[in-house]
Structure 1
Amino acid sequence: MRYFPLFYDLYHKPVLVVGGGEVASRKVESLLKAGAFVSVVSPTLEPFLLSLYEEDKLSWIKGFYQQELIEEFVQIWATTDNPDLNHRVHADAKRAGIMVNVVDDTEYCDFITPSMINRGRIQVAFSSGGSSPVLIRNLRRTFEAVLPQNLGLLADFAASKRADIKERLPDVTRRRLFWEYFFEATEVKSSQSKSQLQACYEVTLDSKQFEPSYCVNWIETGSDFEMLTLKALRLMQSAEMVLYHHELDSVFADSCRRDAERISWSEVPELKKRLEEQQELRRSVVVLLPEVNKGLLSELSLCYGRIQVLGYAR
C-alpha cells in the first residue's frame, strides 16, 4: 500500500490551482465543496471557472504562474497541459514544503484524489493508486447502486445525538452496541425523516436489546476467502473478539471487525480457556476454524456439546 488513506480538512484553508482549463474546473469544484479558499492562477479562465469568479466564489490571479505566488497556500494543484510548467510548480512546492498534486502525473504527486461517493456527511473513497481508473470507476458504479440514499440523513441524526447518547449511555461499549443495533434495524434503514429516526431511537433505548451479552459463532473458513458466505462475513464484522486458528491465512482475521481484539489459538484447551474469559466479559466472539475434520469436531463437541459451524459455500 503506497498511499496512506486520509481525509484532509481544507475548510477555510487557502489552496492554489495553477491552470484555468477543464481539468482545473473539476478540481476547483471539489475543493469549493470542501470549503477551501481557492485561488486560480491563469491568463484566462474557461467559462465555468469564470462564472465562479464572477459569483465571488474563487480568487483569480490573472497572469502566468510565478514561484513567489505559492508561499501563502497549504496545498497546490498543477493542472495545465504543459508538463514542464507542472513540474516546475512541483519543484517549487517541494522546496517550500507545500503539498502538491500534478494532475494525471502520479510520480509528481504528494497525494492523489480517490473516486468518491457522497451521501451528505458520508463519503466513500476508492483508489487504485492511480494505476487503473477504469476499474475504480466500475467499482464505484457498483457501490452507487447498493448504497442507500438516506445515509446522509442517518449520519446527520447520529451527529445530532452525540451529546444525548453520552448522557443516557455513559459507557463507551454500550454506546457502540446501541448504534450497531440501531443502524441494523429495518425501520431505521428505510427511514426518510428525522421524526421516524427519533421514534426508532427512543424504542431502541427503552428495549435494552443492545446490552452486551456473551455469544459464540463458529466459522470454518476454508482456504478461499471469496467462498465465505454472507452470513459468515456479517458475523465476522459484528464480533468484539476474534479467536483464530494460528495456521489460518491472515486475510481471514484481518477481514473481521477492524476494532475487534484478535488472539490466535492452536489447541482446543487453549481455545476453551479464552472463551471462558470472554464469557465473564459478556462479549460476542467469533471463532475462526481451519477446515473442520471429524477429529477437531469431536474434540470441540466434548468441550461445548453440539455446535453449529458456519462457513463457506462448498
Structure 2
Amino acid sequence: MGLYPLFADLTGLPVLVVGGGHVAERKIAALLAAGAQVRVGAPTLTPVLMQQVEEGKLEHHAGPFQPTWLNGMWLVIAATDDRDLNAQVAAAASERRIFANVVDDPALSRFQVPAVVDRAPLTVAISTGGAAPVIARRVRETLETELDHALGPLTALAQRHRARITQRWPDLPERRAFYDWLHDGPVMALLRNARSDEAEQVFLDALSATEAPASKGSVLLVGAGPGDPGLLTLRGLRALNQADVILHDSLVSEAVLVLARRDAERIDVGKRCGGRHTQQEQIHQLLLDLAQAGRRVVRLKGGDPFVFGRGGEEMEFLRQHGIPCEIVPGITAAVACAAYAGVPLTHRDHARSVHLLTGHGKESLDAMDWPALAQDHQTLAVYMGVARLDEFTQRLLQNGRRPDTPFVIIENGTLPQQRVVSGVLHELPARAREQAIHPPALLIIGEVAALAHEHAWFGSLHA
C-alpha cells in the first residue's frame, strides 16, 4: 500500500490554498464544505472567489507567495499553473511539517485528494496515489451507481443511536446481525421512500424488542425499460443486484437480465401470445409465497410497471397481504421507442397531446373514444396492437382521421435489431404485412411520425 488512507476533520482549522484560478476554486469549494477556515493566496482571483472573499467566507493574501502564509496552517494545497512556484510551496510546507498537495503533481505532494462518493455521513474515497486520476474517477462513477442514496440517512440514524445499539447488543456477532437487518430490512426501505419518521420508529421498536428483529421478505416492482440495458435506471440496477429471486416477463431482454446478481434465482413468468402463458393469479401467489418465505423479490417488467404492465394489480394484491412493496419506474416503450426512431411524442407545431393506448383485445378497442382519437394534432402511441392493425385503422378512418396521417411502427425498439416502418394511415395494415412486422412493436400515429424521415438515428428505417 503506497499511501496511508486518512479521513481528516478540518472543522474550524486554517487551510491555505495557493492559486486563484478555477482549479483553486474547485479545491476551495470542497474545503469549505468540510468546514475548514480557508485562506487563499494569489495576486488575482476568479469572480467566484472574489465574491466569497467579499462575503467573508475566505481570507485573501494578495500578491506573490510568501512562506509566512503557512504559519499556523494545518494543510496547504498548491493549485497554480507554475510548477516552480508549486515546488516552492511544497518545500516551504515540508520545512514546517505541514502536509501539502500539489494539484496534478504527485511527486511534490505529501497527500492526495481522492475521488469521493458522498453519502454523508458515509464517505467513500478512491485514490490511485496520483498515478491515474481518470481511473479513480471511473471507479467513483461505478460506485455511484451501486451505492443507494438512502445509505446517507441510514448511517446518520445509526450514528445518532450508536450508544443504544452497543448497549442493546453488547455481543459483537449479534450487533453485526442487527446492522445487517438495518441495511436489508424495512428501515432502509422506508428511508429510501422518504419516510424518515416511520423509519426511526421501526428502528426504535427493534431496539426495544425482547428478541432480535427477523428479516422479512419484500417485493420490488421494477421497470426494466424497453430492452436497451443502458436505459435501465440506477435504482433498477441496484434492485437487481440485491434480489434473491427475479420474476421477469418475456419482453425483458437478456442484456438486462445479465446485469442481475449472479446467484439470484430467475423465474420466467412471461405471457406469450399463442404460447406458454402464466396466469396473473399464479404470479400473485408466487410473489406472495416467495416474500412470505423471507426472500427479496424483484418483479421485473418490460417498460414501466404502471403502463400496461399490471403493476397496479400486483401492488394492490401484495399490500392486501401485508407484503412490503416498492415501485421502481422504468422508461416506458412509447417514450423510448419514439426517441430511438427520432419521433417526438409532442411538438409545438404538430402535437399538443399524446395518448397511450393498448390494442390488446377487442374489449380494449370497444372501450376507446374513437371520435376523440380521430382528431388531428395529437399523437397516438399504441402498445400490443400488431394483431389488430386492420380494425384499428378502420375505426380511425371511419371516425374522421385523415387517410394521409403519418405513422411509424417500431419493431424491437431500442435493440440492435430495431426496424422502423413508416407510411400513412390508410396503408398501415398493408405496410405491416409487407414488412412482416411481429411483436414486440409499438405503433405511433400522428403528424409527428413524419419527423422520423428527417431524424431517425438508430436502426433501419423502411419508408
Task: Tell me if TM exceeds 0.5.
Answer: yes
* Partner residue in 2 for 1:86: 86
Structure 2 distance, partners of 1:37, 1:202, is 38
Q: Give 2:102's aligned amino acid.
A: V
Q: Map residues 115-264 of structure 1 onto 2, 5 A cutoff.
A: 115-191=115-191, 192-205=194-207, 206=209, 208-209=211-212
- Matched residue SS, 1:39: strand
Partner of 1:112: 112
CA contact (8 A) 1:153 1:193 kept: no
Give the superposition deviation at 1:187. Answer: 4.8
Matched residue pairs, number? 215
Query: How far apart, CA to CA, are the structure 2 residues paired with 1:230 and 1:73?
Result: 50
Residues 73 and 202 of structure 1: is their aligned pair in 2 closer, same or farther, counting only changes over 3 Å?
closer
Query: Which of 1 and 2 has greater Rg?
Result: 2
Amino acid at match of 1:88: Q
CA distance in 1, matches of 2:108, 2:65: 18
Q: 1:138 and 1:207 mapped to 2: Cα distance? A: 46
Match of 1:56 in 2: 56
* Alignment partner of 1:68 is 2:68: yes
Shift of 1:62: 1.3
Deviations 1:99-156 (A, max 9, x none): 1111110000001011011112111111122222222222211221221121211111
Cα distance between partner residues in 2 of 1:14 and 1:202? 40
Cα distance change of structure 1 residues 210 and 187 upon mapping to structure 2, 3 Å threshold: closer
The aligned amino acid for 2:127 is S
SS at match of 1:29: helix
Deviations 1:241-287 (A, max 9, x none): xxxxxxxxxxxxxxxxxxxxxxxxxxxxxxxxxxxxxxxxxxxxxxx
Higher mean C-alpha deviation, range 202-211 or range 2-11: 202-211
How far apart in 1 are the matches of 2:152 and 2:25?
A: 26
Distance in 2, matches of 1:49 and 1:231, equals 51
Provide the C-alpha distance between the structure 1 equivalents of 2:262 and 2:12, rounded to a whole number of angstroms: 43
Instruction: Give the structure with the larger helix fraction.
Output: 1
Q: Do the aligned partners of 1:41 and 1:63 also contact (CA within 8 Å) in 2? A: yes
Do the aligned residues in 2 keep the contact of 1:100 with 1:109 (CA within 8 Å)? yes
SS in 2 for 1:72: coil
CA distance in 1, matches of 2:47, 2:181: 49
8 A Cα contact 1:31 1:38, kept in partner? yes
CA contact (8 A) 1:41 1:60 kept: yes
Query: Structure 1's 82 and 186: CA in aligned 2 closer, same or farther, altered over 3 A?
Result: same
Query: Which of 1 and 2 has higher RCO (CA within 8 Å, sep 6+)?
Result: 1
Q: Which runs of 5+ in 2 are unaligned?
A: 215-260, 265-463
Q: Percent identity?
A: 38
CA drift of 1:180 comes to 2.0
SS for the counterpart of 1:204 is helix
Q: CA RMSD in A?
A: 2.2
Taking the aligned partners of 2:26 and 2:142, their CA distance within structure 1 comes to 22
Stretches of structure 1 lacking an aligned partner (at least 5 in a row): 212-228, 233-314
Post-superposition Cα deviations, 1:12-43, rounded to whole Å, max 9, x if no partner, equal 11111111111111110001111111001111
- CA drift at 1:65: 0.7
What amino acid maps onto 1:208 in structure 2? E
- Residue type at the aligned position of 2:163: A
Quick one: which amino acid aligns to residue 2 of structure 1?
G
